[in-house]
């Protein structure tokens, strides 16, 4: 069934349900009459859940899916008294809702991943063939600094001597750095996605230059033992922030029948959960990068633990929340 006919068939029921939700919180005696009796609410709520499932299954527009999702959430809160239980709702979202939202935006996630990893692989090949091309992206001083950070003589992996402070201070630095990258990728969406694309491409190029130059310098073992632990959470969060920025940019370019301001508000509201989830990922990445990644342990141990930490986000996004959805 086409979305137009689907909306025409059920729009009256959705409007009545929404009106009932608004009027039910009004305890004044002079309030307008409710559109249906209270005992009909469970049955109408079940029908609304079915409509939401159909809209998702048939890949109807995100605006329709989001509208039905909000009605279902409000109906759930009213039926089960969950309005004030923020902790339980946050836990339920973390247990599966976050992963479901990421899968719902999978094409934006794929586009962001290509914009990050595509330039990274391209510059790695280019620097492998012509090492001096690295200086188009980074200055000689920055390249030398990176080699110092991962040298065998480094006091702590990933830090130069003047940065080697406490782990807690480095945790704060990593939080600031990671959040700033994620914010640029997400907020850049308001420029029709141009700044988001720029941030993803530039970070991909920077990652590729560092990786290849350290490999050429014979420091690949130190580099990979440091980054493998936190890269799954950090790169995953950057990709998700880029996906959110690209979707914001699409709302600016193609707002549909809404104004651009309304399209931005609706899209941003739909992305709130995913943005909060990727923020938690950035905090986890900073914790790992500050307290685990610098440890000079055997390479098999670092690779084994790091491999598990890289796979965990993938497993979560692929399998979590499917029963809930």
Q: How many domains does the structure of the chain reveal?
A: 2
Q: What is the pLDDT of residues 267-297, one digit of tens each?
A: 888 888 888 888 889 889 888 888 888 887 7
HSE-up of 321 (CA within 13 Å, CB side)?
Answer: 19
Q: Higher confidence at residue 80 or residue 257?
A: 257
Expressed as residue numbers, the domain containing 20 is: 3-84
Q: Is position 89 within any domain?
A: no
The C-alpha atoms of residue 174 and residue 155 are separated, in whole angstroms, by: 18
Distance CA 134, CA 127 (A): 6
Same domain, 182 and 114: yes
Regarding whether 13 and 128 lie in a shared domain, the answer is no
Shared-domain flag, residues 48 and 192: no
Residues 149 and 30 grouped into a single domain: no
Q: Which long-range contacts (CB under 8 A, 24 or more apart) does 26-32 make?
A: none
Q: Quick one: pLDDT at residue 155?
A: 63
CA 214 – CA 320 distance, rounded (Å): 36
Give the per-residue pLDDT at 107. 93
Q: With respect to residue 92, please indicate whether it lies within any of the assigned structural domains.
A: no
Q: Kindly state whether residues 37 and 125 are assigned to the same domain.
A: no
Residue 251 lies in a domain: yes
Domain co-membership, 247 together with 177? yes
Percent of the chain with pLDDT over 70: 88
What does the pLDDT average to over 80-92?
Answer: 65
Same structural domain for residues 164 and 253?
yes
pLDDT digits (tens, 9 = 90+) for 157-194: 655 544 555 666 777 777 888 888 888 888 888 888 89
Helices marked H in the chain — which ranges?
3-24, 41-57, 62-80, 86-92, 98-104, 106-129, 140-149, 167-187, 194-216, 220-253, 260-291, 299-319
Domain-located, residue 95 = no
pLDDT for the residue 86:
65
Spatial contact of 288 and 230, defined as CB atoms under 8 Å apart: yes
């Amino acid at each position: 069934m086409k979305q137009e006919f689907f909306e025409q068939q059920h729009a009256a029921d959705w409007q009545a349900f929404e009106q009932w939700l608004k009027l039910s919180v009004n305890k004044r005696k002079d309030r307008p009459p409710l559109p249906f009796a209270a005992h009909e609410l469970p049955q109408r709520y079940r029908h609304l859940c079915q409509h939401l499932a159909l809209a998702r299954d048939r890949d109807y527009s995100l605006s329709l899916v989001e509208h039905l999702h909000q009605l279902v959430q409000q109906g759930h809160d009213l039926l089960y008294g969950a309005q004030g239980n923020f902790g339980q709702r946050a836990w339920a979202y973390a247990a599966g809702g976050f992963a479901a939202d990421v899968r719902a935006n999978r094409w934006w996630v794929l586009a962001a991943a290509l914009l990050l990893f595509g330039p990274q692989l391209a510059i790695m090949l280019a620097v492998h063939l012509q090492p001096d091309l690295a200086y188009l992206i980074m200055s000689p001083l920055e390249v030398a600094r990176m080699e110092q950070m991962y040298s065998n003589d480094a006091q702590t992996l990933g830090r130069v001597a003047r940065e080697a402070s406490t782990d807690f201070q480095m945790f704060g630095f990593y939080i600031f750095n990671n959040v700033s990258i994620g914010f640029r990728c997400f907020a850049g969406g308001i420029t029709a996605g141009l700044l988001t694309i720029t941030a993803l491409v530039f970070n991909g190029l920077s990652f590729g230059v560092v990786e290849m130059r350290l490999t050429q310098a014979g420091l690949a073992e130190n580099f990979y033992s440091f980054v493998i632990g936190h890269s799954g959470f950090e790169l995953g969060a950057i990709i998700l922030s880029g996906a959110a920025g690209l979707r914001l940019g699409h709302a600016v370019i193609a707002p549909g029948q809404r104004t651009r301001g309304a399209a931005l508000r609706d899209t941003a509201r739909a992305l709130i959960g995913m943005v909060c989830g990727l923020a938690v990922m950035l905090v986890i990445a900073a914790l790992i990068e500050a307290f685990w990644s610098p440890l000079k342990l055997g390479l098999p141990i670092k690779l084994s633990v790091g491999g598990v930490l890289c796979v965990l986000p993938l497993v979560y996004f692929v399998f979590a929340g499917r029963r809930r959805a």
